[in-house]
Amino acid sequence: PSPRGIFLMGEFLQVELIEKRRHSLEEGFADPPTGKSFADWEIAHYNRIRLKGIYLHDYAMYVGPRSSPSGGAAAYGGGLVSSGKETGYYLVTPFRMSETGQVLLLNRGWVPRSIKDNLPPESLPKEEVSVLIVPRPLEKPGTLVAQNDPASGSWFFIDPEEMGASLGIPFTPPFCEVFEEAGKPTGTYPKHLCAGDLINFHVMPITHLAYSATWYGLSAAIAVGTFYRFR
């Protein structure tokens, strides 16, 4: 196939994947998988699940620095090194499910650097809470991102295997995003991610289109310049 054909095929596949992910995030709620490991929960990736349980705040981990979620821009990968005006951290907290006692790793959302060590009591519920979560795949750190250092509690990217090992869990626990917490006051931190943060990819189709227009424009300019140079 021609380069243009390969490009269009790639665009079609990406759009199809975006729509599939959007559908999963907008349809009804799924039941939690019966297995305990990250691999067992892969079948539920990008599905919404409601659970009740207790946060284990004493074992919370801050991951960052990160810029604040935009509510639609890709929050992972490119955001591994914060570039926004206000930096902060993702708050990853173990969560014990009430029904089974299973422990999950939940990204509760983004917390500004200025208050990460002084979160108000309403941000750290001690009683059972109802949460809306979305299991998701592993994060892929860039080549310039520092390595995690569990011994010192320094986390630069989310790695459920390393995090689980630091908690004494003998297998890789499932990792999920928190979309909602029942009873959490509006406007308080952590700031949850939303569906738009999980639907988007690092390079969206509109970005590909802009790249194509740029390269076609450059090619046309070179062709015209060559014609007038050698006519």
Please write the tens of the pLDDT for every residue from 113-167: 999 999 999 999 999 999 999 999 987 888 889 999 999 999 999 999 999 999 9
Share of the chain above pLDDT 70, in %: 73
Q: Say which residue, 96 or 139, is predicted with more confidence.
A: 96
* pLDDT the model gives residue 148: 97
Rounded average pLDDT over 215-230: 59
CA separation for the pair 42, 172 (Å, rounded): 12
Please tell me the total number of residues recorded for the chain in this structure.
231
CA separation for the pair 87, 193 (Å, rounded): 15
Rounded average pLDDT over 31-44: 95
Record the pTM: 0.78
pLDDT greater than 60 at residue 9: no
CA separation for the pair 194, 144 (Å, rounded): 27
Instruction: Give pLDDT tens digits for 167-180.
Output: 999 999 999 999 99
Place of tokens 């076609």: 216
